[in-house]
Structure 1
Amino acid sequence: MTTAPHPLVTEARRLAAEVLAPQAERVDQEGVPASSIQAIKGSGLLGVSAPVAYGGSAAPAAVARETAEVLAGACCSTWFVQTQHHTPVQTLTKAQLPIRERLLAPLAQGELLSGVAYAQLRAHPRVPVRVTRERGGWRFDGTVPWYTGWGLNDVMLLAGVTEADEALFAFTEAREQPGLRPSPPMRLAALTASQTVSLDLDGLWLPEDAVALRTPYETWAATDRPKNTNASPAVFGITASALDLLDAADGDPTAKETADALRIRLDEVRRQAYELADHPVPTERIDERLTVKTRAYDVMRAATTAAVVAGGGRSIGLGSPAQRLAREGMFLLVQGQTAEVRTAHLGSLGRIT
């Protein structure tokens, strides 16, 4: 007896099959289109973890992970734009500030899409974005090195560090405005389609009621640090799609055998990763989490490489899904990377025989 998939998983699979996967190579070269964003907004997936009272689904973590796998495996660029949205939703869900009542429902229901601009906090004690009191609100100065979804997002969750060494997060419209200027979209080896820019902040002023979180930096960092020690569902999505390409290699029994062997490894490391992600204490078993994360990278690298090899010279063409998946896999090696993750990954690579 099998259990029917959650409705959001079913919707993610439909969206992947009908909208994302058929145009993934074109999107990779031309950019995520507004039509894909509208499809995501109308799917209910943006509220996967949001409270039901605000129009979300409050789905279990396993459902959120599976939908992420499906979207990333179909079109990693589109997945990457929409995945930014879930941190603002989670932040507002926990907030006890006026901004929650103004924005949580529109975000949970897909009326608005949010981006995030907070990775620079991880540079602490360097302060790329400084926040100071001004005119009853907050002034932001500095540089956000990475902001994904420019021109696609409606709002952004922007963060900086105050003079009291607090992490302060506030919402603003995702558009050029006084004190906020974007760079041209970055040309990247992978996911150029995600419309990633840097942001120059020179006196951007936001009112007090735009603030969603204000807490001592170390309090925020203590909850942020463990997050990236877990394997990303996107890694498993990319790996599964690469194995599907191997399965489809007509007349090549070795490709099918390789896919079968790698799928066993994928299933095992995925199971281990999600057992650790569900551990009730996120700050425990860090070394084990990092070991499993690097194993997930190993399987992804093997699967995407095998897909390229099986495709032969055709894999080098920009119309080939194999080369796109390989480049997307390269991107995931450094997405959200922290010093701790980098050290663990490099160490594991040094031990490969």
Structure 2
Amino acid sequence: MTTSAHPLVTRARRLAAELLVPEAERVDQEGVPASHIAAVKRSGLLGVVAPVAYGGSGAPPAVLRQTAEILAGACCATWFVQTQHHTPVQTLTQSELPVRERLLGPLARGELLSGVAYAHLRSYPRVPVRVRREGGGWRFDGTVPWYTGWGLNDVLLLAGVTDTGEVLFAFAEARDQPGLRASAPMRLAALTAARTVSLELAGLWLPEEAVALRTRYERWAPGDRARTLNAGPAIFGVAEAALSLLDEERAAPLRARLADVRRRAYALADHPVPLERAEERLAVRAQAYELLRTATTAAVVAGGGRSMALTSRAQRLAREALFLLVQGQTAETRTAHLRALTGS
């Protein structure tokens, strides 16, 4: 079976055509509705890479990438809320702790949607969230600067760092509770619709059985770095959506260049040694961003003055492209991207 013929790819296309694309401009202004999340849950897309034994599809990474392209190109805010879910699923898949049996099935089957609160680990050795032993569990204190999907997620995967330099990931209910308070939703230049907040942690206590991962920071960090080196599928999905707003004569050369960069990016993502060819990965990532900028700018130009309306698809895609420039950014990727932009 080719990736394009996979049942989940077909479902993603149907979801995009029947719901996400027609509603995208309204969602951009009003926020991702719970009905969108319910539709994603029903689609089976939340279990795309989850083990079959737990109710998932166990699909290869190529299927996850293609469904992500489709969703991001249709409604980037909805894509961004649901894409958080795949990290908790993969974390539980690799875990041998009791929480796996409690949560992996509901997450794989789409009964629950999970968010993530761990990007702050990338600022280490600065520690925005500290964890320490307390009773038969763990106490979390600090600030999570960014948390997406508040009010839509059922659970969240929260990370912090212990005094001995371990990273600890544990699940909590995604709601205000003793020791956890969410800010008001942030107003952002793009993807305000994804309901992003900051989380204040003041003695949030989670039991031992909530823990999904506990390991040395130095052991966890290389895997996280590997994920940030590659061009993500949302870049290609939003670029393709922008090119669809151009006439074929103008779109064709950009589409050919985009296909070439996508092919090279995904070949690197599938390389058996994730941290090999890091400079090449970063260069291809920068090329993908350049094509994204060109495609979305061309869509705005083609739309003329109409592109300045908040109801304009071209304008929404251009703002989403700005968001993707910094989504998942690290000091390493920022430096490489700036080098590519400035030639220095």
TM-score for both structures, normalised by structure 1? 0.96
The whole-number CA distance in structure 1 between the counterparts of 2:15 and 2:186 is 27
Deviation at 1:351, TM superposition (A): 2.4
2:316 is aligned, of 299, 316, 324, to 324
- Whether 1:19 and 2:19 are equivalent positions in the alignment is yes
2:42 aligns with 42
Instruction: Supply the AA of the counterpart residue of 2:324.
Output: L
Is 1:285 the equivalent of 2:277?
A: yes
Looking at structure 1, the residues matched to 214 and 193 of structure 2 have their Cα atoms a distance apart, in angstroms, of 33
Provide the C-alpha distance between the structure 2 equivalents of 1:278 and 1:60, rounded to a whole number of angstroms.
11
| Letter of the structure 2 residue corresponding to residue 111 of structure 1 | E
**What residue in structure 1 maps to residue 192 of structure 2?**
192
Unaligned runs of 5+ in 2: none
**Percent pairwise identity:** 74
Indicate how the Cα distance of structure 1 residues 77 and 3 shifts in structure 2: closer, same or farther if over 3 A, else same: closer
What are the ranges of 5 or more consecutive residues in structure 1 without an aligned counterpart?
248-255
Counterpart residue number, 1:9: 9
Match of 2:338 in 1: 346
SS in 1 for 2:69: helix
**Other-structure match for 2:153:** 153
Q: Deviations over 1:97-132 (max 9, x none)?
A: 000000000000000000000001001000000000
CA contact (8 A) 2:3 2:9 kept: no
CA–CA separation in structure 2 for the residues paired with 1:143 and 1:156: 15
Letter aligned with residue 297 of structure 1: Y
Q: How many angstroms apart in 2 are the aligned matches of 1:276 and 1:2?
A: 20
Q: 1:95 to 1:324 in 2, by over 3 A?
A: same
Q: Which residue of structure 2 aligns with residue 112 of structure 1? A: 112
**Mapping for residues 221-236 of structure 1, pairs under 5 Å:** 221-236=221-236
Partners in 2 of 1:69 and 1:61 — Cα distance? 12
Letter paired with 2:341: L
Task: Tell me how far 1:257 sits from its aligned partner.
Answer: 2.4
Structure 2 distance, partners of 1:339, 1:122, is: 9
* CA distance in 1 between partners of 2:339 and 2:138 (Å): 42
**Aligned counterpart, 1:85:** 85
What's the offset of the Cα at 1:3? 7.8
Letter in 1 for 2:267: E
- What is the distance in 1 between the residues matched to 2:333 and 2:228? 7
Task: Provide Cα deviations, 1:300-341, integer angstroms capped at 9, x if missing partner.
Answer: 000000000000000000010000000000000000000010
Structure 1 residue 4: deviation in Å?
A: 5.9
Picking from 297, 311, 328, the partner of 1:305 is 297
The equivalent position to 1:257 in structure 2, one of 249, 264, 280, is 249
Cα distance in structure 2, aligned partners of 1:137 and 1:33: 35
Give the aligned partner of residue 76 of structure 1.
76
Whole-angstrom distance in 2 between the partners of 1:73 and 1:166: 38
Q: Which residue of 1 aligns with 2:260?
A: 268
Q: One-letter code of the match for 1:37?
A: I
TM-score normalised by length of structure 2:
0.99
Name the residue aligned to 1:180. 180
SS of equivalent residue, structure 1 residue 67: helix
Check whether the contact 2:161–2:167 (CA below 8 A) recurs between aligned residues.
yes
Matches within 5 A, 1:123-162: 123-162=123-162
Report the 3-state secondary structure (helix = DSSP H, G, I; strand = E; otherwise coil) of the residue aligned with 2:43.
Answer: coil
The alignment partner of 2:170 has SS state of: strand
- Post-superposition offset of 1:2: 7.9
1:133-154 alpha-carbon deviations (Å, 9 max, x no partner): 0011000000000000000000
CA distance in 2, matches of 1:61, 1:202: 38
Pair 1:286–1:4, CA change in 2 (3 A)? closer
The equivalent residue for 1:55 is 55
Structure 2 Cα separation of the partners of residues 5 and 53 of structure 1? 23
